[in-house]
Amino acid sequence: MLSGKRILLIIGGGIAAYKSLDLIRRLRERGAAVTPVLTRAGEEFVTPLSVAALAGEKCYRHLFDLTDEAEMGHIELSRAADLVVVAPATADLMAKMAGGHADDLASTLLMATDKKVLIAPAMNVRMWLHRATQRNIAMLRADDIRFVGPNEGDMACGEYGPGRMAEPLEIVAGIEAMMGDGPLQGRHVVVTSGPTHEPIDPVRYIANRSSGAQGTALARALRDLGARVTFVTGPASVPPPGGVEVVQIETARQMLDAVKTALPADAVICAAAVADWRVANASGSKMKKDGSGKAPALDFAENPDILATISQMKKGRPALVVGFAAETDDVVAHATTKRERKHCDWIVANDVRPATGIMGGTENAVTLISETGAEEWPRLPKDEVARGLAARIAAALGAGG
């Protein structure tokens, strides 16, 4: 898929730069050519020699390198590639991009390019969560800069949280999705997935058994058709796909906020198993037995219905809003009523009686309910159901035609 493509890879100054050496290898083994650019800070982490040796090409470093200007000026360098990738994208590089600075080779190339840009942020969790970085992220998103990662986990600095650079193969998946000529190229799709956790107190919560498998497969299939996917996921048991923008949330209300923040979108696919109720009187501290033998009384409040809310947006409603319905009886009748009640365009219904083995299994048998009626699909692996749905979504958006 990447054969014959050229990637301009800007390596910023972060410990994750070591992963970018592997990224170069992964790109080259897929047939891509890599033009490497190393920032001044990047040179503190990896050497120009390693970068050039792995890329098999000159490693560009300085803006005022007259030989380069004679051979290939910075304007041409920024445009000769099919895609610009920044990995690791440090807080400083992102701030420069958001502010339109051009005071070194990397930032000048980013200003001068007319190509799409994918960034793989990597930084300390506090720096990622800092208001300044979050402001810059919003600006970069508005400028249609694509993101892959960061992931959550242990950091080289000993802290834990979001800020780890995406793994090389996740970045490759993101690059492939952007370089492909799939029918959803240029389209933005939001997918909700997984369960939600509704707190009872700081250590307990109400949840459900959703694994997030179908939503994850769908996000991957949409990505493979070229869509920019925002994947809003609760604490699922399967890992999120690479090459999509992952937004991790816990509660239904956070999920709704994340979906709204991700808009505008061409389609929103609500595959999450959202808790219908949350604990209204959740305790701020751990609830304790008081010795009286009396169980605590939990009050419940209804959660917002994300699917219904997005479906009924007056302004900026996505062209296609799709819900899922897991039913145990009268699948088509219930799902048809649900489609009408929530005002979504399609409902993907399935029978989750334990005898079907669908819940938690690898296969799914769905009925696609739309304005024109119910269409029963054969039992298929969840990946194939996802690919079939992604193709239908592309067709409904009139994409690629």
128 binds ligand C5P (CB under 6 A): no
Among 272, 279, 386, 399, binds ligand C5P (CB under 6 A): 272
Closer of 136 and 233 to ligand C5P (Cβ): 233
Token pair, residue 182, equals 């799939």
- 324 annotated to a ligand binding site: yes
CB of 139 to ligand C5P, least distance (A): 29
**Backbone dihedral angles phi then psi of residue 227, each to the nearest 5 degrees:** -70, 150
Q: Is 276 in the site for ligand C5P (CB under 6 A)?
A: yes
User: What does the alpha-carbon distance between residue 174 and residue 224 come to, in Å, rounded to a whole number?
Assistant: 9
Asked whether position 190 contacts ligand C5P by CB under 6 A, the answer is: no
Q: Is 311 in the site for ligand C5P (CB under 6 A)?
A: no
How many Cα atoms occupy the beta-carbon half-sphere of 225 within 13 Å? 25
157 among known catalytic residues:
yes
Kindly write down the DSSP assignment for every residue of 56-70, as one continuous string: TSPPB--TT-HHHHH
Q: Is 329 exposed, middle or buried (0-12, 13-18, 19+ CB in 10 A)?
A: exposed
Kindly tell me which of 147 and 324 has the beta carbon lying closer to ligand C5P.
Answer: 324
Was 378 annotated as part of a binding site?
A: no
Taking CB under 6 A as the rule, does residue 71 contact ligand C5P? no
Interface segment toward ligand C5P; rule CB under 6 A; list 25-33, 204-212, 323-331, 387-395? 323-331
The span from the CA of 322 to the CA of 339, in Å, is: 9
Among 118, 225, 274, 321, binds ligand C5P (CB under 6 A): 274
| 286 is an annotated ligand-binding site residue | yes
Q: Is 305 in the site for ligand C5P (CB under 6 A)?
A: yes
Amino acid at 256: L
Q: Judged by CB under 6 A, does residue 385 bind ligand C5P?
A: no
Which segment (25-33, 58-66, 153-161, 268-276) binds ligand C5P by CB under 6 A? 268-276
CA distances from 29 to 4, 95, 115, 213, 372 (A): 12, 32, 23, 29, 46
The amino acid that residue 298 corresponds to is L
Least Å from the CB of residue 260 to ligand C5P: 12
Asked if residues 368 and 338 have their Cβ atoms less than 8 Å apart, the reply is no
- Cis previous bond, 36, omega within 30: no
- Distance, in Å, from the CA atom of 254 to the CA atom of 314, rounded to the nearest integer, reads 21
Q: How far is the CB of 394 from ligand C5P (least distance, A)?
A: 20
Q: By CB under 6 A, tell whether 270 contacts ligand C5P.
A: yes
Q: Which residues are annotated as a binding site for CTP?
A: 276, 286, 304-307, 324, 338, 342
What is the contact surface with ligand C5P in residues (CB under 6 A)? Answer: 192, 252, 270, 272, 274, 276, 303, 305-307, 323-325, 338
Report, as residue numbers or ranges, the catalytic residues.
157
